[in-house]
Amino acid sequence: MFFNYKTILIILSILLSGCSLSNLHQQDKLGNVSILIETPSDKYNVLLKENLKRLINTNQKSQSKYKLNASISYNSSETLSVRGLNVLNSTKAKINYRLFEINTKKVIKSGSFNSFPALSSSSNSLYSNEIAKEHIKDRLNLVSAEKMYLILKVTLSRLN
């Protein structure tokens, strides 16, 4: 009796794991599409462009079918901590984007989105404050590129 339950449990676990593993091998839809990415030439926009290139992993051999114009800007403000004793710096990133087809110049999707705020503490050292802002902007840039990648993935999957 125990042997029967054990074999049924093993067979059931094999069947369930086989069904769940089939979703892991699906290919990414943006790997087959070539997207030309254009950003302004300042430091953080170039970083956004490189982060998007890494995420999208476009096919360089094919002719670009879509063009993405994107720009990033940052907004910093001072906020109080939870206890109200310390002043914290809150930084948000705002991304403006426009995706369109190159041949027809038809706009597929355009808009903007804001990232979640990132907090940093203020210090007496100007150097540590500047380094903290640089690290926050780098993190917000990467998070914004990942969100932009998801927007592109959903938009282009709806077209196909």
Per-residue pLDDT tens for 73-127? 999 888 777 776 777 888 999 999 999 998 898 999 999 999 998 888 777 788 8
- Within a domain: 44: yes
pLDDT of residue 151: 93
- Within a domain: 15: no
**Does the pLDDT at position 138 exceed 60?**
yes
pLDDT of residue 20: 56
pLDDT of residue 129: 84
- Within a domain: 13: no
Confidence grade of residue 152 (pLDDT, cut at 50, 70, 90): very high
- Within a domain: 7: no
Bridge partners (DSSP) of residue 38 are 69
pLDDT of residue 25: 46
What mean pLDDT is predicted for residues 3-29?
67
Are 104 and 92 in contact, with CB atoms under 8 Å apart?
A: no
SS3 of the chain: the string is CHHHHHHHHHHHHHHHHHHHHHHHHCCCHHHHCCEEEECCCCHHHHHHHHHHHHHHCCCCCCCCCEEEEEEEEEEEEEEECCCCCCEEEEEEEEEEEEEEECCCCCEEEEEEEECCCEEEECCCCHHHHHHHHHHHHHHHHHHHHHHHHHHHHHHHHHHC
**Does the pLDDT at position 26 exceed 60?**
no
Q: What is the CATH number of the domain that holds 93?
A: 3.30.160.150
- Within a domain: 66: yes
Instruction: Tell me which of 30-34, 50-54, 85-89 is least confident.
Output: 30-34
Are 145 and 49 in contact, with CB atoms under 8 Å apart?
A: no
pLDDT of residue 112: 95
Look up the domain containing 77 and give its range.
30-159
- Within a domain: 20: no
pLDDT of residue 144: 95
**In total, how many domains does the chain have?**
1
- Within a domain: 137: yes
Higher-confidence residue: 6 or 148? 148
- Within a domain: 21: no
**Does the pLDDT at position 30 exceed 90?**
no
What mean pLDDT is predicted for residues 49-67?
79
